Structure 1
Amino acid sequence: MLTHVVLMKFTDPADAPKAKELLEGLVPAVPHIQKLTVGLDVVRAAVSWDLVLLTEHADLDALKGYQDHPAHLDVAQWLRPRLAARATVDF
């Protein structure tokens, strides 16, 4: 089991709900996702990120399959110009 964690900070935090909707839409489209959770920040502290994405995959090959899937690439294309920062951890 491999868990993929992504923290996102948007240039405009108002983009976070749309990002959540798009990311959750990947579940039926990408067979490499075993579980997907998206959370929006509610505290809005100076150190807070706007959105967290957690996905679970069978193994590293499944994570790579998810990352290379056309549906994921479409969402990433929408996200990239809206992000001020992004951090990831895979464990």
Structure 2
Amino acid sequence: MITHVVFFKLKDRSPESVEQARAKLQNMEGKISELLHIEVGADVIHSERSYDLVLITKFNSLEDLKAYNVHPVHQDVLAYMGEAKDGVAPCVDFES
């Protein structure tokens, strides 16, 4: 199994904006067959060094992760997050 983790810092860090981005990410659930598990968490500490959201996804294989990356639903999320994010930590993909 492959676990894919990404942290997002948003331009607008208001609770409403964070919730909107969280919902956009979570909305992928059930729409991409290769996506076995999705968890989206919002930061509760709100320190200056905190990221606002974390996305944790799981796939059966690297091939499934690659298919997810080009899936139209994911591409829509990438476009949205590209506009909403102020920064993104490098993702981590690991065998789990």
Provide the TM-score with structure 2 as the length reference: 0.90
Q: Shift in Å at residue 34 of structure 1?
A: 0.7
- What is the aligned residue count? 91
Shift, 1:43, TM fit = 0.5
Alignment of 1:64-79 (within 5 A): 64-79=66-81
CA distance in 2: counterparts of 1:47 and 1:8, whole angstroms: 12
Give ranges in structure 1 of 5+ residues lacking alignment: none
Q: Name the structure 2 match of 1:50.
A: 52
User: TM-score, normalized by length of structure 1?
Assistant: 0.95
Please give the root-mean-square deviation of Cα atoms over the aligned residues, in Å. Answer: 0.9
Unaligned runs of 5+ in 2: none
Q: Counterpart in 1 of 2:2? A: 2
Selected match of 1:89 from 65, 71, 92: 92
Counterparts of 2:21 and 2:61, CA distance in 1? 25
The one-letter amino acid paired with 1:89 is: V
Identity %: 35
